[in-house]
Every structure is written in structure tokens, then in C-alpha cells.
Amino acid sequence: ADDGYRLWLRYERITDPAVRTAYNKTFSFIAVSDTSDISHNAAKELQAGIGAMTGKHIPIVKTMPKSGRGIRLSLSGATDVTAVKADSYVISLEGGNVVIKSAGNTGLLYGSFALLRHLQQHLPIEKAVSQSKPKIQLRMLNHWDNPEGTIERGYAGSSLWKWYELPETVDPRYTDYARANASIGINGTVVNNVNASARFLTAEYLHKVAALAGVFRKYGIKTYLSIHFAAPKTLGGLKTSDPLDPEVRKWWMEKTKEVYSIIPDFGGFLVKANSEGEPGPQDYGRTHADGANMLAEALAPFNGVVIWRAFVYKADPNADRFKAAYDEFASLDGKFAKNVIVQVKNGPIDFQPREPFSPLFGNMPKTPLGMEFQLTQEYLGFATHWVYEAPIFKECLDADTYVKGKGSTVASIVDGSLHNYPLTCMAGVANTGSDRSWTGHPMAQANWYAFGRLAWDHTLSAQAIAREWAQLTLTTQPKPVAAITDIMLRSRDIYVDYNTPLGLSRPWTGAHYAPEPWQNRSSRPDWTAIYYHRADSLGLGFDRTATGSNALQQYRPEVTRAWANPETCPLPYLLWFHHISWSQKLSSGRTLWDELCHRFYTGAESVVWMQKQWASVQSSIDPTLHADVTGRLLKQHKEAIWWRDAWMLYLQTFSKQAIPAIYRRPERT
């Protein structure tokens, strides 16, 4: 039975005789003269993958045999190539052989995985001819994993990293993790939580991290660490962690040197500073740039980078958190050292089911802005709700900021083309854990997959990625693939409808799971539900127009215009920007209250549709996996009703209106 462990690298035996014969004829050897670990692993993956699909042992050889057809991995002799060049590849057909060419061994690895993807879809060999180069340089996972093995906002078991047995014992699963990442082009991983323990910078832990890096490096993946900004004090015993203090700067220089002596190809530091209680340069009256530049100086001699997060906001219930990142960072543009990237969450608040794009994108032309997406489903129903996230990523990447006129998409900023950034970065907060299926909900594997594919090429469509993933992971039969793709593409809107429709946000406290739109007690004055949804006797929603917080002004006029008028603001964003009265007629023809009822009820009802679609593919899916997802869909439906009812009953105390009769019928569970 398939427990999901093999992800999209299943390499199922091909049963179609025509396809198998064609593949058998073409693949009788894999020739690779380059002896690096990465090239070797590329060849090994082809051998294992094609071997499993065809049932044939394919030898790996150094030089091309005189007869027979096969695959040649060809490394061009070019030296001193850029990272992007080294990752790019060309697949061609030469005299019956499939040739994968690249200027770097990583390109050979990515080309090999591209070929395997192609063959897993049983496509004709001639159609594999292609070329590809990544649009983003640093394609990374950010793990929010803690030293004691827990994962902040992780719903797939405990951490993959077994710190207590490292570095002596190196779990073979680390290799499978690296293979999975390399197969979708991911080339960096931050192994620890941004709420960082200083312990990761001790020699003891650096050696553990080095053991992981030793595995990852063989798949073209660099290792990074999140750092605790106050480490000079907590770890170094200094009196301060002031970034302008010479002793502190020296401490970081020496620490960084030590890191590189243990992990020579270390990638750099990820930093959460002055955010949600984490220490930072502002503790000493310094700026984010002062903090980042201190670390940049220490990393520069080793070509390391600083990835500094823009996720900041004050514990002030009268401020608009929406505006915080822009307010703190935009004016620092031009002040960051060359090897600093500022990493921005896709939306201005915090990975909500639907957010407008962060207004910081486009407003730091001199500072490379990296994208931070969240793969783990913190606000998307953890591991019981099926939500395919590619539409979330695409919505943001394709959004037009208008900062240099029409067509200034967020993607064009992040990929460096709009402002000529020398560094480009896209990060996904990982959804992996020690569960056999890696991601808790087996269908959440698609979010990891989609992230990697989009970091490589953000022009791919959510649909194409869904189809490809389903073919690789679940079945190659066209009908079930279409049915599954259909569920995936609608899943996010369905979730939004029963969870936070029309631009509502954050009706939760602590765990970010149970609906608690009434919950107004908390450890911080701004961490209340009412702060976000602003329900009152008049209506609902956060006024961010000129009569309210005026956050809309952080966007270019074209964007502001599209959202500033409550009559024309697209409904998915309505309550993000407007406080709307309960009886106001919306563009749908319904009043706000009726539209809310409509969304909550049809959203929850649509989970029944998902269940039916999933039931229809049963005969094509592994029974264990099918049963697992069926169970999760049952739970999802119950929870959708729970969400709907919690919201509706709560909002009704303000609207004082009835739920229209058409929705009040017996529940189908």
C-alpha cells in the first residue's frame, strides 16, 4: 500500500506496453563523465527511476558505449559561470541518445529530474527536448523547527531533524528529503525556526547542522541558519548585542568564521528581529539596516547572504498592522549592504487565506526583496483541510503593483527583472515533518511541489502544476487526474468561503484553528479578533480608506483606485478595505448579510462536492491513500460547518438578521 512516503518520485511500473517498449529501446545506459557527487546522484536517480518504471537495470558508465542508445549527462567545460547558468539545462536528442547539458552539475541534476517528470507522465521521448533556467536564484525552504524536535505551526509530526542523534547518526530520510527538494529545483534550506534558539550557533549544534549539510550538498542544496539576534549576549557573554558595538561586531565575525570552518559552503543567516518579542537592533536604538549590515559584513568574505524578514508590527491596537512593514522598511531602501535580501510575506498581515499583496513590493527598488510564502497550513485548516495553495501564490505573483506602469507584477519584482536586483529569493515555510507522508494531509504534498515549481518558474499555471503533480503522485489515468485537478483548483476558494469570506481575516487566537471571532482576551492588545474583523452594530470590515487607516495609500494610484471604492472593490477584498453596513447591496445583488450567508453555506456545502469527486476516483487510487483522504474530507466537512456556524451566530448578534430560509435545511453529513 502507498503511504505517501515516495511523494511525486514514485516511479511506478509502466503498464502500457507501447510506452514501455519505447522507453526500453531508448534507455540502455546512462553515461556521465563528471565524477562529482551531484552528477553521480543525477545518474543514480535516472537509474533508479527509469529502472523502476521499465523493470530494466540500466548501467551507469563513464564513456558512451559504441552501440545502443542511452542518456548522456554532459557538463560543459565552462568555468566561472553564474549560479543561474549552472542550474540551467538543455535536453536534446542526438543520434538517438537523450543528452542533458549544463554548465553546472546542478543543471545536470535538474535536467535529470525534468526528464524523469516527463517519463513519469508517459510522454513521447521526442517531447522531452527542452531548455530551462530558473527565474529565481535562491529557492528555499524555511523550517520553523526547534531544537527539541517540535515544529512551530507544523502539522505533520515532529521535526525531520533528529538533533539528539546527530551528527553521529545520519538518518537516510535526510537523503530522501534532499532528493525531493532537488527534484523541484529547491536549492537552499534554513533548518531552524526564525524564533531562533541561540543554541544553533554553539559548536555542538554546528556539527549537527554540518552533518545535514553534508547530505544536502550532494543534491545542490545549501544550508542556512536562523539566528538569535541577542546571541552575543546570551551565548557570547557580552554586555550588549548592539550592532554598532565593536565587540559585538567582532563576535559575529568570529562566529561566522567558525560556522564556515565547520560548513564551508554555508548559505547565510535568516533573521526575525524586533518582531513578536524577538530581540533586534531596535533594542539599542538602531535600525533594521544597522542590524542586517553587521551580519552582512561578517558573511561577505564567505559570499554568504543575510535574509532579513520584514514581518514586523507593533503591539498597538490603534495602529494598522497592515501598514507596518512598509512604514518600517520602505524608508531604509538603499541603506542595506549588497548581500542583504529583505524577505517579505506575500500579504501585509500574516498568511491569511486571502490577502492583497504586500504594499512593500515595488517600494524598495534598491533592496532585493524576497518572497515568503507559507506552505504549512497555519491558517488553512492544518492537516485536515485540503487546500491547494498554488492559486494563493499565483494571485500574489501575478498581481500588478504598477510601480513602473502597467505590468509591474510582484513576480517581476521578486525575480529581479523590474529593479535589476542582483539577488533573488523565494522562500516557502515548510510543511514537512516526520509523518510517513511527510506533510500530514497527503494532498498537502502538492503545496511543497507547487512551491518548488513556481520558485523555478513563476509563469507556470496553478492548473498545469496540479495536473503534473497528480500524474506523478496519484495516477496517470486522464479522467481521475482531471477530477483531482478540479478539486485542487477550487479548494482554496471553498475554504475561504466557509472560513473567512469577502476579505475577513484572523478570527482566531493561539492555535489558529478553532473559530473564535468573539475572542477578545489576549496577551497583546492587538491580538484580538475584533481588531481584525471590526464587527459592530453598523456593519463589518476594516476601513483602510482615507476615512480609516488609509493603508490603501501605500499602493500606487491604479491599485488604490481598484480597491478604494466599496461599490467597485472586488468582493474577495471588500472587508479588507471597507467597513460595510449589514444591509448594503453588493455588486452580487445581495446585501452584505445575505452574501455572507451565501458564502458560508455554499462553502461548507462544497466540501460535499469535494467528497463526491474524490469518491469518483477511488478505483484509480491506492486504497490506503484513498481511505486516508476520504477520512480527512469527512472531518473537513464537519469543521466547515463548525466554522460557518461559529461565524454566523456571532455575526448575527450584530446584524440582528435572520439566516435566509433557503440555507436552513437539514445538514447532509
CB of 430 to ligand GCW, least distance (A): 12
Cell of 258: 567558525
With respect to ligand GCW, which residue has the nearer C-beta, 220 or 348?
Answer: 348
Toward ligand GCW, which CB reaches closer, 86 or 271? Answer: 271
Select 153 or 578, whichever has its Cβ closest to ligand GCW. Answer: 153
Q: Which is nearer to ligand GCW, 152 or 493 (CB)?
A: 152
Q: Is 519 in the site for ligand GCW (CB under 6 A)?
A: no
194 contacts ligand GCW (rule: CB under 6 A) = yes
The whole-angstrom separation of Cα 577 and Cα 572 is 10
* Contacts (CB under 6 A) with ligand GCW, residues 536-595: none
Q: Is 531 in the site for ligand GCW (CB under 6 A)?
A: no
* Residues in 602-661 that interact with ligand GCW by CB under 6 A: none
**List of E strands, 310-459:** 340-345, 369-374, 425-429
C-alpha triplet 317, 379, 142: angle, nearest 5°: 100
**3-class secondary structure, 492:** helix
The grid cell for 383 is: 492537516
CB 327, CB 370: distance < 8 Å:
no
Q: Site residues for ligand GCW, window 324-363 (CB under 6 A)?
A: 350-351
Q: Dig out the grid coordinates for 526 from the structure.
A: 492587538
- Evaluated on CA atoms 62, 65, 66, 69, the torsion sign reads negative
- Please compute, for residue 341, the number of CA atoms within 13 A of its CA located in the half-sphere on the CB side: 31
Catalytic residues: 276, 350, 378
Q: Is 311 in the site for ligand GCW (CB under 6 A)?
A: yes
Chain position whose Cβ is nearest to ligand GCW = 350
Q: Which is nearer to ligand GCW, 195 or 461 (CB)?
A: 195
d(CA 358, CA 504): 16
* DSSP SS3 for 74: strand
**Taking CB under 6 A as the rule, does residue 195 contact ligand GCW?**
yes
Which residues neighbour 629 within 8 Å (Cβ) at sequence distance 6 or greater?
A: 386, 441, 442, 443, 614
Q: Is 206 helix (H, G, I), strand (E, B) or coil?
A: helix
> Smallest distance from the beta carbon of 142 to ligand GCW, in angstroms?
9
- Binding letters toward ligand GCW, positions 407-436, x by CB under 6 A: ------------------------------
Q: What track of x and - describes contact with ligand GCW for positions 241 through 280 (by CB under 6 A)?
A: -------------------------------x---x----
Nearest approach in angstroms of CB 191 to ligand GCW is 14
d(CA 188, CA 267): 8
Helix, strand, coil percentages for the chain (3-state, nearest 5): 45, 10, 45
Pairing outcome for strands 71-75 and 89-94: unpaired
Q: Is position 144 an interface residue for ligand GCW (rule: CB under 6 A)?
A: yes
Q: Which of 70/154 has CB closer to ligand GCW? A: 154
β-strand partners of 98: 71, 93
Q: Are 384 and 441 in contact (CB under 8 A)?
A: yes
Residue 509 interacting with ligand GCW (CB under 6 A): no
Cα separation, 391 vs 470, in Å, equals 16
Residue pair 42/72 in contact (Cβ under 8 Å)? The answer is no
Please select the residue that binds ligand GCW; options are 72, 117, 139, 153, rule is CB under 6 A: 153
Name which of 283 and 350 has its Cβ closer to ligand GCW. Answer: 350
According to CB under 6 A, which residues from 444 to 463 bind ligand GCW?
none
Q: How far is the CB of 624 from ligand GCW (least distance, A)?
A: 32
Number of residues interacting with ligand GCW: please give it, by CB under 6 A.
11
Site of interaction with ligand GCW (CB under 6 A) = 144, 152-153, 194-195, 272, 276, 311, 350-351, 378
